[in-house]
């Protein structure tokens, strides 16, 4: 069919078709933008759900990069062009602001994290997780690296608070982030792991294996802050997504993934 048209006529015909299609779509999201977000590994699942719903509602796109908070900070400090960060702690966003890499007054707690002891074996952890940690047959306990990941620091603090750090230290294997830590337990490389409670609290899915939520008396609350980065100061999508995180709709999604509420303010 195309052989009946000259190259110029074909180009004009295709151009008109493309222009018509563009006009048909344009009224939906005429000012949609894209934002790059650095996401703490523990929050990956929740962030995917939030970003998808946000895009449906606004047309803006949020591209997610996940990793340990420490490594994401290092990338931002080295010039990675992220527009915003959802950290696993409060200290990193504050540091970014102090260093001129974050926008003053933009940080706020979007979630409060919780810690769980988890095993892929459904019968390994009973009502008291400390018994599982003290079991003589325990060979490997996975935690995230306390120097890189706030959940790793919380795990170390919890073990210390339970008086178990010295006893289990020779058995500890470390992931670079909480996602790697979860994978170690899921694969059987470690019988137990101290992971984000959100990893065993997935919307609509039963928890696999066995778990024990670590009482918060043993570790400081894991406040997770978001911050608008200097590179995203004028990015409408980044600002809109951070506003969305403070909405009731976002709070429902965040709670469904096993997190406590944030404070919604700077």
CATH number, domain with residue 119: 3.40.190.10
Tokens of 68: 């340990």
Residues 107 and 233 in one domain: yes
Q: What is the pLDDT of residue 178?
A: 86
Any domain includes 195: yes
Report the b/e string of 31-57 with b at 16+ CB within 10 A. eebebbbbbbbbbbbbbeebbeebbee
Query: Which domain, by its residues, includes 137?
Result: 115-213
Residues 108 and 122 in one domain: no
Tokens of 210: 């066995």
Q: What is the pLDDT of residue 203?
A: 81
Tokens of 225: 């802050």
Tokens of 1: 């069919």
**DSSP type of residue 149:** -
Give dist(CA 203, CA 224) in Å, integer. Answer: 20
Tokens of 263: 């404070």
Domain count, the chain: 2
Radius of gyration of the chain, Cα coordinates, nearest whole angstrom: 23
Any domain includes 6: no
Tokens of 75: 């990338």
Which residues are CB-neighbours of 95 under 8 A, at least 6 positions away?
Answer: 73
Residues 131 and 206 in one domain: yes
Residues 84 and 119 in one domain: no
Parts of the chain with a pLDDT under 70? 1-30, 205, 264-266
Any domain includes 9: no
Smallest CA-to-CA distance from 250 within 89, 88, 111 is with: 111
Residues 42 and 76 in one domain: yes
At 180-228, the pLDDT tens digits run: 999 999 999 999 999 999 888 878 767 789 999 999 999 998 999 999 9
């Amino acid at each position: 069919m195309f052989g009946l048209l000259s190259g110029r006529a074909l180009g004009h015909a295709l151009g008109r078709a493309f222009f018509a299609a563009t006009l048909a779509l344009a009224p939906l999201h005429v000012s949609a933008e894209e934002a790059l977000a650095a996401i703490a590994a523990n929050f990956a699942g929740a962030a995917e759900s939030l970003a998808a719903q946000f895009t449906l509602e606004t047309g803006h796109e949020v591209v997610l990069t996940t990793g340990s908070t420490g490594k994401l900070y290092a990338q931002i400090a080295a010039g990675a062009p992220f527009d915003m960060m959802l950290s696993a702690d409060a200290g990193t966003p504050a540091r970014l602001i102090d260093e001129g890499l974050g926008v003053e007054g933009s940080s706020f707690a979007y979630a409060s994290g919780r810690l769980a002891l988890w095993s892929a074996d459904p019968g390994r952890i009973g009502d008291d997780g400390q018994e599982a940690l003290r079991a003589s047959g325990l060979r490997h306990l996975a935690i995230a690296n306390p120097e890189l990941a706030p959940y790793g620091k919380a795990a170390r603090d919890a073990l210390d608070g339970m008086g178990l750090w010295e006893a289990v230290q020779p058995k500890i294997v470390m992931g670079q982030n909480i996602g790697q830590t979860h994978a170690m337990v899921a694969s059987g490389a470690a019988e137990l792991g101290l992971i984000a409670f959100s990893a065993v609290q997935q919307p609509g899915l039963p928890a696999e294996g066995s778990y024990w939520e670590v009482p918060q008396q043993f570790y400081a609350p894991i406040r997770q802050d978001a911050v608008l980065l200097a590179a995203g100061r004028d990015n409408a999508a980044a600002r809109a997504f951070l506003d969305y995180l403070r909405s009731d709709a976002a709070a429902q999604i965040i709670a469904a993934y096993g997190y406590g509420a944030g404070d919604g303010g700077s």
